[in-house]
């Protein structure tokens, strides 16, 4: 190994399910690394750090939570000036802005960056039968609370749907969130992890339409798809309206969902097995809900 080859930051995608989803190349790089960090807040695998360590043959993986990645990123990429460092990411490394930020900062610091790709929700969502070519901008749905009920995702969904495009909605994850009430009493306490369900996001999307009233989608008519545990053996897919999906049981996390745009005949045929029984959805085609210029 030349000196240059021994100074690199590998950003390695781990896929969607468990320790065996890593690619052969990714695994070889992890085994040859001097330091290994696991990013643990934009997504999670179905297995913990211990299972990963056993499979990789090492016991020194450092968990990088939101605070670590956003406030101490240099502790991840600067050691790569001295040797090989691997930064492990659930899904694919280029699907979250956080990881792009680390790549940019590492390169600015003169660190060589190598990316090892893997499956992500952005590609795997195609398993429901909707064509990836027909998706528009992806949106994130954040948890609403008493004081903060943001609907910044709403205009993007409307933009997509006006163009006949589907919208992938990535649902909020709260990991290692501080308990502010406890902090007021001088204690540092973290809240239990929370993973937004299709049910919760459906309710929030219905509320967003009630507030915005822009007819970006119609809660009791627009076809949507709820997906849980994508890429895992027990993945769950159900299609129907928001009003229908909010009543279904999708099981354990992680969940995501799609708000359909124009649904073509082949897409509908592929979706049919996943439709909620007696679904009341109405298909949006040119000339109905889409006001398109010829």
| pLDDT grade for 4, boundaries at 50, 70 and 90 | low
Q: What is the pLDDT of residue 6?
A: 63
With a threshold of 0.75, does the pTM exceed it? Answer: yes
pLDDT tens, 150-182? 999 999 999 999 999 999 999 999 887 777 777
238 near 250, Cβ under 8 Å?
A: yes
Question: Tokens 């928001």 appear where?
Answer: 242
137 near 244, Cβ under 8 Å?
A: no
Number of CB atoms found within 10 A of residue 43's CB: 21
Q: pLDDT above 70 covers what percent of the chain?
A: 94
| pLDDT grade for 289, boundaries at 50, 70 and 90 | very low
Residue 84 CA: distances (Å) to CA of 53, 115, 223: 17, 13, 47
Instruction: Give the mean model confidence (pLDDT) for residues 46-61.
Output: 93
């Amino acid at each position: 190994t030349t000196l240059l080859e021994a100074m690199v930051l590998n950003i390695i995608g781990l896929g969607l399910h468990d320790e065996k989803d890593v690619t052969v190349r990714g695994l070889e790089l992890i085994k040859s690394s001097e330091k290994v960090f696991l990013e643990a807040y934009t997504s999670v695998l179905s297995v913990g750090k211990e299972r990963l360590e056993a499979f990789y043959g090492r016991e020194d993986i450092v968990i990088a939570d939101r605070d670590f990645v956003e406030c101490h990123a240099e502790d991840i990429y600067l050691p790569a000036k001295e040797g090989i460092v691997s930064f492990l990411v659930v899904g694919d490394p280029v699907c979250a802005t956080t990881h792009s930020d680390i790549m940019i900062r590492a390169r600015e610091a003169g660190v060589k960056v190598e990316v090892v790709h893997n499956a992500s929700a952005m590609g795997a969502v195609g398993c429901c039968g909707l064509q990836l070519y027909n998706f528009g901008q992806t949106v994130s749905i954040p948890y609403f609370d008493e004081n903060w009920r943001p609907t910044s995702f709403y205009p993007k969904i409307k933009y997509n749907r006006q163009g006949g495009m589907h919208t992938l909605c990535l649902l909020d994850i709260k990991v290692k969130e501080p308990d502010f009430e406890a902090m007021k009493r001088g204690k540092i306490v973290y809240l239990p992890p929370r993973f937004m369900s299709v049910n919760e996001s459906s309710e929030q999307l219905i509320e967003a339409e009630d507030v915005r009233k822009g007819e970006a989608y119609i809660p009791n008519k627009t076809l949507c798809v709820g997906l849980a545990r994508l890429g895992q053996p027990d993945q769950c897919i159900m299609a129907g309206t928001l009003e229908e999906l909010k009543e279904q049981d999708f099981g354990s996390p992680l969940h995501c969902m799609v708000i359909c745009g124009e649904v073509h005949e082949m897409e509908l045929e592929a979706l049919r097995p996943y439709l909620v029984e007696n679904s009341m959805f109405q298909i949006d085609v040119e000339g109905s809900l889409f006001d398109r210029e010829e």
